[in-house]
Each structure stands twice: as C-alpha cells, then as structure tokens.
Amino acid sequence: MTVYPKESLEAFPPHSFGNYRSTVKRSPRKPLVVIPHTLSELTGPVYGHEVVHPGDEDLTKQHAGEPLGERIIVHGRVLDEDGRPVPDTLVEIWQANAAGRYIHVVDQHPAPIDRNFTGAGRIATDAEGRYKFVTVKPGAYPWGNHHNAWRPNHIHFSVFGHSFLSRLVTQMYFPGDPLFPFDPIFNSVTDEKARQRMISSFDLENTIPDWALCFRFDIVLRGREATPQDTDKH
C-alpha cells in the first residue's frame, strides 16, 4: 500500500512565517496531530484527464483575441521522489496577466484587466509525466504585506499526483528575478536548494524561433512506494 512518509514534507515552508503576515493568524497554535492515512485517501480517485478539455492548456486562446504580453511556453515533468514519471495526473495553473492583475474581485491593483486573458489553465500529464502550457509571462504585483511589497513574477501550480495526500500547491518563479530577496513567500521556504527548485529554467532548446520563449519547470511529488516507519513496539 502507498504510504507517504512525514519526511517528504520537510522542504515545505512552516505554517507560520512571521514576515509573511497572514500566516501568523491562520496557522495552528498547537502542534499538529498526526492521523494515519486512510484507505480512501490512498486509493480514492483523484481528478484526472476527464475534466480536461482540448485547449485548456493554451491560456492565449481562451477568448476572441490574444492577450497582451510576452507569450511563453511553460513545460516540464511531474515526477515522484524516486524520479519516476507521474502520468495522467491533473496539473492546474493560475496567474496574473502581463500587467500583474488577476481577474478577482479582491484584486484592487490599479493595473488593466485584459479581456483576452482569464489566467487559468489545466492539462493531464502524458505517459512520461510531461505537461505543457502556452501563456503570457505574468507581471509583478503589489500585495500589501509590508511597505513596498511586490510579488516576483510567478505562476501558481496545483498538481494532484496519485492521491489526495500527494497533492502539491506551489508557485513557479522565473530565473533571475530581482524581487527574490524581498519576497517573504519565496523565502518562507528556508532551504536554499528547495527554493531553487521553485525557479524555472530558461529553455532555449524548446524556445520557438519568432514565436515564444520557453521555460522548464519539473515538479517532484511525495513518493508513492516509500517504506513506512516501523512504529510497532510489541
């Protein structure tokens, strides 16, 4: 049976990270209670390709015209901790438009909404765990966490993997962003190597001449066949 070790979560940021203000109030005050995995959590169906429609992976073709901004390709593979591809799993993204504005009622950033851009896409990975999106590069935006707080350019990702317990919600960043040292969300991942894994790499090989730059972003989910800890003391 698939069991995910607690150690798989070590790269995750703490629930409360002081510089990221909203985590202070929303994080638990008491130590978490570890609950054994249930059979339905491990074997229950997760979202898959049946909810994905052709074209959902191209965020530049969801409206009458093309969105403004720098067209980009974002692709990569979904792997488990043992380096095996995770096929047929749902990858969803959401992002701001090129001006740094989300289509959301609480987004009051005075930057223009693009009527040709919603900012959401999804795709199921293929047999090799691959996914590919076409979109525009999201702009930086202010977020009020502290004085002069700006989020680095980023794309939000949700990846389900084999079960609900392997679902990962993360953000993809772009290489060389000058805002990295000032962003508490990026820095709430305290391990330097783990932070680097959230930054995509520029992919010249898959950049399409005269059309779009390409960025590569591989995603590693919790292991699917990790050996469980032996807790039986009898």
Phi, psi of 78 (to 5 degrees): -100, 125
CA pair distance 125, 148, nearest whole angstrom: 38
User: Which tokens sit at 158?
Assistant: 């949700």
User: Which tokens sit at 46?
Assistant: 């997760």
Contacts of residue 82, defined as CB under 8 A and 6 or more positions apart, other chains included, come to 223, 224, 225
Q: Which of 75, 77, 101, 154 is catalytic?
A: 154
Q: Which of 4, 20, 102, 131 is catalytic?
A: 102
Task: Establish whether 102 is a catalytic residue.
Answer: yes
Task: Establish whether 47 is a catalytic residue.
Answer: no
Q: Which residues pair with 94 in a beta bridge?
A: 120, 156
* Dihedral sign computed on CA atoms, order 207, 120, 144, 180: negative
Q: Which of 141, 162, 222, 224 is catalytic?
A: 141
CA pair distance 73, 57, nearest whole angstrom: 10
145, burial (CB in 10 Å: exposed 0-12, middle 13-18, buried 19+): middle
Task: Establish whether 173 is a catalytic residue.
Answer: no
User: Which tokens sit at 74?
Assistant: 């974002």
Q: How far is CA 177 from the centre of its chain?
A: 17
Q: Which of 75, 151, 222, 224 is catalytic?
A: 151
Q: Which of 37, 130, 156, 216 is catalytic?
A: 156
Active site residues: 102, 141, 151, 154, 156
